Structure formats: structure tokens, C-alpha cells
Amino acid sequence: MEFSTKFAIAVADDLASWQKLNVVAFLTSGVIGDTNDIIGGEYKDASDRQYSSLCIQPIVVLKSTRARLSTFLQRANSRDVSSAIYIEDMFKTGHDAANRETVLQYETDALPLVGMAVRAEKKLVDKIFKGAKLHD
């Protein structure tokens, strides 16, 4: 199936593996939370056991330096593309309200980004994340 949109996540390449996985999980939820048409139907196995619905679209996971993440966010903002962000401070918080409070402490250009995600038209996402590499 061809999609007119692309769902991509860029993560700082210097994070520990558990941190990268945590960032990807949170950012995925951010994009899905903002998108009405991205969740498919429930799954069912041959034993008639039901499973939760999943995202209908593949997600590209990229890696980048932290400095490039700021560039990617600037590109998304200049194109009015909604972004999900994750900053370094969020590793030290324990709940959503604290996460939002810590983000509020920074101006956009000073956010200590460790990850960001967008879903938009394919060419636009490619322009935003130009310079990122596929995560290995």
C-alpha cells in the first residue's frame, strides 16, 4: 500500500539503547494522538483471541546528532508541520504534567532535544529530516 504521508522519528545518536526505545515510544504516541486516521482495526488470531489495533503506516526511525535535531525542528516549525518532541529533562520526570512543565522552561531554540517525530506529506518529511540517517 502506498501512503501519501510519511511518519518519521529522529533520535539522538548518543543515547543509551533504553533511552532511544523510550523516546521512540513516547514520540509515536504523540503523533498518533494528533492523528485521527492512523489507527487500523483490531487484530485477531486463528484462536479468535483479539489484540489491540496498531498504526496503519510504517514508521521510519532515523538517527542524528542533537544539533541536527534542532535544525529539523526549525524546519518543521517554519513549514507549520506539527511535531512531537522529547527533551533530555524528560528522562528525569515521572509523569506527563512534569514533562510538560520541563518543556515550558525552554525557548524553542534552546530545547535540549533528544528526539522528534512528524507525520506529513512524504516530500515535506524528507525535507525536514534531510541529513538524518536510518537508525541501525
3-state helix/strand/coil string of 5-37: EEEEEEEECCCCHHHHHHHHHHHHHHHHHCCCC
Q: Please, are residues 73 and 111 in contact by the beta-carbon 8 Å criterion?
A: yes
Measured CA to CA, the distance from residue 99 to residue 97 in angstroms comes to 5
> Taking the model in full, what pTM does it have?
0.94
- Looking at the chain, the number of H-run helices and the number of E-run strands are 4, 7
* CATH 3.40.1490.10 is the classification of domain 15-38+49-134: yes
User: What percent of the chain stands above pLDDT 70?
Assistant: 100
State residue 2's pLDDT score.
86
On the question of pLDDT at 57 being above 90, the answer is yes
On the question of pLDDT at 1 being above 90, the answer is no
84-100 pLDDT, tens digit per residue, is: 999 999 999 989 999 99
State residue 56's pLDDT score.
95
